[in-house]
Structure 1
Amino acid sequence: METPTKRPFHKSISSNSFHLRSPSLNSVRLRRIFDLYDANHDSFITVDEISTALKTLGLDTDISDLDSMIKSYIHPGNAGLTYDDFVILHKSINDLLFGMEDLQLPGGNVTEQEESDLTEAFKVFDEDGDGFISATELQMVLGKLGFTEATEMESVKMMISSVDVNHDGQVDFSEFKDMMKALQ
């Protein structure tokens, strides 16, 4: 099967969003996201399914913009993106937004960009802005993302306790950074 020419993602986006840099975690995460977007489980993600998923996350998009961005990633004759197409689209967007981010300072120190990314990611979880991620906050974010772990508070508390070094029942920024470094 002939692979269509992929055009780079040219939409102007200004974001400091955090992304995981671990290839194995990214692969699992992408598969899970693909499966969540594929609402009818036909192994294709259509523009309508992506639009619906983005609206669920509170991100309203113009369907014609979304269609024009995605159609070059869909193989002719397919109803939507296959998982492999989705991975290529994700890589394109990731390279555009975070291409320079993987540069590290000598000695393996956290770069200013990485610190900024971690701060932004922490803010996503710390919904009340108190400087801590509580089990309730983690449960809310996991629920919004469609993770089944969000349905049981005990599972969420176990996630918190696995990184809660000072055993206060919450994750502070330092613990969050250590956890993210360990994932990398």
Structure 2
Amino acid sequence: METKRLSRPSPSFRLRSSSLNAVRLRRVFDLFDHNGDGEITVEELGLALDRLGLGADPTDLRFTVETYIREGRKGLAFEDFEKLHSALGDALFGPVGEEGEDGDGEMEEAFKVFDEDGDGFISEAELQAVLAKLGLVEGRSMACVHEMICSVDRNHDGRVDFNEFKGMMRSISLKSA
């Protein structure tokens, strides 16, 4: 199997808004923790990366991840995962500076992950495709996907535009603060 490598890291890897980044990182951790035991093993991380089409060389992945797994554990606890994410961000983009907390550029990048056809909207089909790629149960039910869209669709057009997405992300940020 051929391993895909990203030619240029996505600027959305680390959002400038620390509260949005913490919420997003926790969600990523929970998605990668396939068996829900509070730890991400190297195997679970490899599986998640493969599902996202970002396969990594298993030896390189094991070497990188195992340095962050605390003694006596089988995988990364959330705090370990945060440290790994921070170290990768620093290596790829340099240390976190004192940039503003605007975050619209990063939010646009996050929006583009869901807006697969680039039309400026997240449709039910696009949301379902992303959820399915992540192996989430919610992606199997169009009714569940429809409910998710309706919960943030303020103008009731059956799809999520960037402003609706941004409002949803900011409300998540405020709830977690």
TM-score between both structures, scaled by the size of structure 2:
0.72
Secondary structure at the aligned position of 1:60 is classed as coil
| Counterpart AA for 2:100 | Q
Q: Which ranges in structure 2 are unaligned for 5 or more consecutive residues?
A: 1-6
1:89 matched to 2:84 = yes
Which structure is higher in RCO with an 8 Å CA cutoff and minimum separation 6? 2
8 A Cα contact 1:164 1:170, kept in partner: yes
Residues 82-137 of structure 1: CA deviation (Å, up to 9, x unaligned): 454334323444566586477436xxxx3xxx222111111111111111110111
Cα separation, 1, equivalents of 2:153 and 2:60: 42
Aligned residue in 2 for 1:123: 112
When Rg is computed on C-alpha atoms for both structures, the one with the higher figure is 1
Aligned residue in 2 for 1:65: 60
Residues matched between the structures, number? 163
Cα separation, 2, equivalents of 1:161 and 1:101: 37
TM-score between both structures, scaled by the size of structure 1:
0.70
Cα separation, 2, equivalents of 1:68 and 1:34: 18
8 A Cα contact 1:118 1:177, kept in partner: yes
Q: State the percentage of identical aligned residues.
A: 45
1:17 matched to 2:12 = yes
Q: Any residues of structure 2 matched to 1:24-39 within 5 Å, and which?
A: 25-26=23-24, 28-36=26-34, 38=35
Once the two structures are overlaid, the 10-residue window that deviates more, 74-83 or 59-68, is: 74-83
Aligned residue in 1 for 2:127: 138
Cα separation, 1, equivalents of 2:85 and 2:23: 14
Aligned residue in 2 for 1:148: 137
Aligned residue in 1 for 2:150: 161
> How far has the Cα of 1:64 moved from its partner?
2.3
Q: 1:104 aligns with which of 100, 107, 111?
A: 100
